[in-house]
Amino acid sequence: MLSMRAVTGLPIKYIGAGEKVDALEVFDARRVAGRILGQGDIVALVEKASQELDQSKAEAMARKLAKGQFDLNDLAGQLQQMKKMGGLQGIMGMLPGVAKMKAQMADANIDDRMIARQEAIISSMTKLERKKPDLLNASRKKRVAAGAGVEVQEINRLLKQHRQMADMVKSMSRGGGKGMKQMAAMMGGLGGGGLGGGPDMARLKAMGGGKMPEPSADEMKALQDRIAGLGGGQLPGGLPGLPGFPPKK
């Protein structure tokens, strides 16, 4: 890219951010440099969320969560949102200070292929099974595993993750005002509005002009807690269905 700029003398306007035709981003030298240096690009993450996430669906989800309801259809929706945001790897690439976590994620087999398998598992269930996961007995699990091309153990891990998230949702719904605020922030915080009230884009763009701040130890711990459950440990929570890392096998 830089070589082409030097040869042609023309400015770089856009860069490719994926393999699809519409995967283009406006080129910003400082923001690209931030990604290369592992400083992330929060501005791009928020812009992507504003473009890709459906605010009306996020609000509907927040209302459902407020009632303590969370089934496998909802989990599938979270996984689909993650894909729209560029997948797990794409999201991680835009978060500051997570370079060290990528090796841990690779060791734990937490990647976009795992997300695809989870989607296949849910798609192999009937509508009633997605709505009432407790119906999944041994014979049903074998059928789902065969349809998704996975082992039954993966079905059990996914159901464990869902149960943990569903329990968390029920707990938050019983928590009154504080729990409601947490759920609103979870569903609307990056959605350009929603129930959580969108971020201040002017402030974020100002941040994009300089070095991205390094996250604190508490922020890193919170991020790990949100991501790690995808590998079969604790459950993902929050945008975009992200779930501490499971123990290494």
Cβ–Cβ < 8 Å for 156, 98: no
Residues 57-85 have pLDDT tens digits of 878 888 888 888 899 999 998 888 888 88
Mean pLDDT of 233-242: 39
pLDDT, residue 155, reads 96
Structure-model confidence comparison of residues 179 and 54, the more confident one = 54
Question: What CA–CA distance (Å, rounded) separates 43 from 20?
Answer: 21
Distance CA(136)–CA(248), nearest Å, equals 28
pLDDT attached to residue 137:
96
What is the rounded average pLDDT for all residues in the chain?
72
| CATH superfamily entry for domain 41-231 | Signal recognition particle, SRP54 subunit, M-domain (1.10.260.30)
Helix, strand or coil, per DSSP, at residue 63: helix
| Contact present, 94 and 45 (Cβ < 8 Å) | yes
Q: Which residue has the tokens 């951010």?
A: 17
Name the more confident of 48 and 249.
Answer: 48
pLDDT band at 189 (very low <50, low <70, confident <90, very high): very low
CB-based contacts of 176, cutoff 8 Å, min separation 6: none
**How many C-beta neighbours within 10 Å does residue 228 have?**
23
pLDDT in tens, 17-37: 777 777 787 887 777 777 777
Q: For residue 229, is pLDDT > 50?
A: no
Measured distance CA(50)–CA(225) in Å, rounded: 24
Direct distance between the N- and C-terminal alpha carbons of the chain, in angstroms, rounded to an integer: 40
Q: What pLDDT score does 246 carry? A: 39
